[in-house]
């Protein structure tokens, strides 16, 4: 990490998300933006964030980005989600964290101006991932969240809002109607790297599992392309914010 930390740090969990965001940013963004992989889940991303915040000049804005699960009908694969509230999905949840409305409004306008399909609403963070359709619907009913991820609440809860602002942009990689195999929890390690042995073993068990893997790959590819498009739309607005 350089001695002079850029003004915005963009946290992704896995390589596909990292590559999708990096592909969207112009070369000039390197002066102001640091894209990094924070790892999978709240513990990994908290460790990465704390290291970053210990630098002499920590970023003025942190953005949690990457994929999410849709929790409501009408939110499909590739749709962007801008969080206006972050919810804690643990059994003894902390208080909801609200993201500053003017910033959310500006980012939503930037997405709308580029015709990026998006929804603004609460995002809940849970760990491990929610895989069953009925569990997604139950989570939505209990929390009123529109999408679910694993890292955003942990990021937000470790920030001092007086010093560091927060934005959350996620793209749906599985809708509320997309059932995920329970084994998907073992496909990635805490660094967000693919566990090839686990994926291969799952695929070799049956032709049906191979079909599931191809479907997962297709949805991930669609979500990655949408994430790149969303960041291309969002970056000019974010750049204005950090220069203000």
pLDDT digits (tens, 9 = 90+) for 209-224: 999 999 999 999 999 9
Q: CA nearest 203: which of 188, 183, 221, 223?
A: 183
pLDDT (mean) for 75-88? 98
| DSSP-based three-state secondary structure for 175 | coil
CA distance 67 to 46: 18
Q: Dump strand ranges (E) for 72-164.
A: 80-88, 97-98, 118-125, 147-149
At 90-130, the pLDDT tens digits run 988 999 999 999 999 999 999 999 999 999 999 999 988 89
What pLDDT band is residue 3 in, cutting at 50, 70 and 90?
Answer: very low
Q: Is 200 exposed, middle or buried (0-12, 13-18, 19+ CB in 10 A)?
A: exposed
Whole-model pTM?
A: 0.92
CA distance 46 to 25: 25
What pLDDT, on the 0 to 100 scale, is given for residue 4?
A: 54
Residue 32 tokens, joined: 């102001």
CA distance 142 to 102: 27
CATH of 8-243, one of 3.40.50.1580, 1.10.40.30, 3.40.50.300, 2.60.40.3140: 3.40.50.1580
Average pLDDT, the chain: 92
User: So where are the chain's domains?
Assistant: 8-243
């Amino acid at each position: 990490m350089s001695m002079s930390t850029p003004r915005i740090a963009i946290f992704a969990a896995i390589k596909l998300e990292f590559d999708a965001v990096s592909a969207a940013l112009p070369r000039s963004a390197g002066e102001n933006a640091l894209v990094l992989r924070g790892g999978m889940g709240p513990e990994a991303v908290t460790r990465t964030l704390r290291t970053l915040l210990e630098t002499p000049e920590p970023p003025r804005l942190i953005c949690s980005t990457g994929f999410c699960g849709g929790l409501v009908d009408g939110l499909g694969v590739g749709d962007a989600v801008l969080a206006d509230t972050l919810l804690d999905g643990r059994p003894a949840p902390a208080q909801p964290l609200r993201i500053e409305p003017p910033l959310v409004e500006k980012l939503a306008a930037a997405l709308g101006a580029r015709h990026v399909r998006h929804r603004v609403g609460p995002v809940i963070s849970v760990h491990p991932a929610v895989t069953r359709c009925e569990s997604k619907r139950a989570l939505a009913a209990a929390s009123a969240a529109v999408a679910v991820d694993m890292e955003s609440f942990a990021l937000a809860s470790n920030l001092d809002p007086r010093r560091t602002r927060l934005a959350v942009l996620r793209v749906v990689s599985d809708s509320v109607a997309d059932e995920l195999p329970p084994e998907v929890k073992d496909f990635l390690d805490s660094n967000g790297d693919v566990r090839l042995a686990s994926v291969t073993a799952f695929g070799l068990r049956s032709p049906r599992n191979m079909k599931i893997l191809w479907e997962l790959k297709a949805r991930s590819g669609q979500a990655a392309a949408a994430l790149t498009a969303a960041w291309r739309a969002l970056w000019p607005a974010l750049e204005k914010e950090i220069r203000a």
